[in-house]
Amino acid sequence: DGFGRLMAEYVVGNILSRELSIVKFSRQQQNNMWDKSPAEDRRMLTSITLGVLGVGSISTEIARLSRAVGMTVWGLCRANKQSRPEFNRLTTVGNLSEFLAGCDYICNVLPSTTETQDLLSGDALSSCKSKSPVFINVGRGGIISEESLLAALENGWLRGAVLDVFKEEPLPVISPLWSHPKVTVTPHISGPSVAENIAEVFVRNYEKYVNKQSLDHVVNWEKGY
């Protein structure tokens, strides 16, 4: 899946950027500053646990690439599922608090449904306070309110956030997320529509349609995705 691979590269790329303190060193360069101290917090990827909210095709690509570079990957799903080779561990929403508490990075890939709206709002992220992970959102903005996200950063439940999706897009110019020192904002580009990928999906589905096979990327209107 080309889209999934692109989004996986976005997620892993941002994790690497955080661990290498790329943004901090870029700011130092702008101020002609030579300071090695940000590198003292660097961790090997083999010591990092990534928690992925959702276990669909995109999440699976994220898990596959993350494990390939040495990370431990947990997946959160709605109901019990059989183990998958891409994930070290699968758990359900009923164990959300335990799931959040064990992650160094949390990546949301969940769709927008009545069940996922505000799943991480309120004090849900207080479970993260022991590890203070980075939250990466490539799913939908409705998973958490802006107020709850800002509070989690202020309280130290999260040490940072990488946001590619928002409840309102474009993100309003008055949003405090733009200038927050712990937040990276990108304009919904983690999975860009690349012509080659679109053509590949179309051809594959056309061949399946002609051969009366089940199509890929079919929307289930009852589930909402």
Q: One of 67, 159, 180, 188 is an active-site residue; which one?
A: 188
180 carries an active-site annotation:
no
d(CA 97, CA 143): 15
Asked if 200 is an active-site residue, the reply is no
Which residue, 138, 98, 96, 146, is CA-closest to 118? 146
CA atoms within 13 A on the CB side of 179: 5
User: Would you give the distance in Å from CA 83 to the centre of its chain?
Assistant: 21
Pairing of the two strands 72-77 and 89-92: parallel
Active-site entry in 169, 200, 207, 217: 169
9 flagged as catalytic:
no
Unique residue bearing structure tokens 């390939």: 68
Residues noted as catalytic: 140, 169, 188
